[in-house]
Amino acid sequence: MGEVTPCPPAPPELREQTLVLVKPDAVQRRLVGDVIGRFERRGFKLVAMKLLQVPELQEGRGYVCGYPCIIAPRCHQADRGLLDRHYQHLQQKPFYPALLAYMTSGPLVAMVWEGYNVVRSTRAMVGDTDSAQAAAGTIRGDLSMHVSRNVVHASDSVETALREIGFWFQRDELVAWESGDSQYTYG
């Protein structure tokens, strides 16, 4: 048997990654497939995905996820502060408590997408934070009406993406795979 030559790894510029969250309003409205479809059709590569319910913080009681807990208090401590870390820059905003309530109101889908300029392209696909300002054709411009229920989150810079992916995923939850179509998507 001849020696097997492993595929050369994709160049670093094709391996940029970003975090996308399909927020609880979108899961409830059955929009997960629509959001995923847009990133797939654009040509980005899905490298991690999970559906999760972020536990709700109840005053004086810590996070309460509603499921019987077999490893308490460790599992709740593991999740404790996930949204506080993710939305650290917004903690002083008047809408922050409402944002936490919204983000813990139901399951959400966390995903990591990979590809050339994925952070910048994804932000363009997502559209303005305020749905009323978001251009038609963007996810928020097509699927949402109000800033407080704006369907998706996407990292706003490569540095933020690295940090946010670390908040939501363990390293071994990311799958490195070579897609057969990169010669058609990148030339």
For residues 86 to 125, the per-residue mask of contacts with ligand ADP, x marking binding by CB under 6 A and - elsewhere, is ----x----x---x--------------------------
The CB-of-155 to ligand ADP minimum distance in angstroms stands at 8
Q: How far apart are CA 43 and CA 86, in angstroms?
A: 27
Helix/strand number for the chain, H first, E second: 9, 6
76: annotated active-site residue? no
Interface with ligand ADP by CB under 6 A: which range of 38-46, 50-58, 148-156, 169-177? 148-156
DSSP 149-172: G-SEEE-SSHHHHHHHHHHH--GG
Question: In angstroms, what CA-CA distances link 89 with 85, 111, 183?
Answer: 9, 21, 39
30: left (phi over 0), alpha (psi -120 to 50) or beta: left
Residue 123 labelled as part of a binding site:
yes
131 binds ligand ADP (CB under 6 A): no
Please identify every residue annotated as catalytic.
Answer: 153
Which residues belong to the annotated binding site?
A: 23, 95, 123, 129, 140, 150
Residues near ligand ADP (CB under 6 A) = 90, 95, 99, 129, 147-148, 150, 153, 156
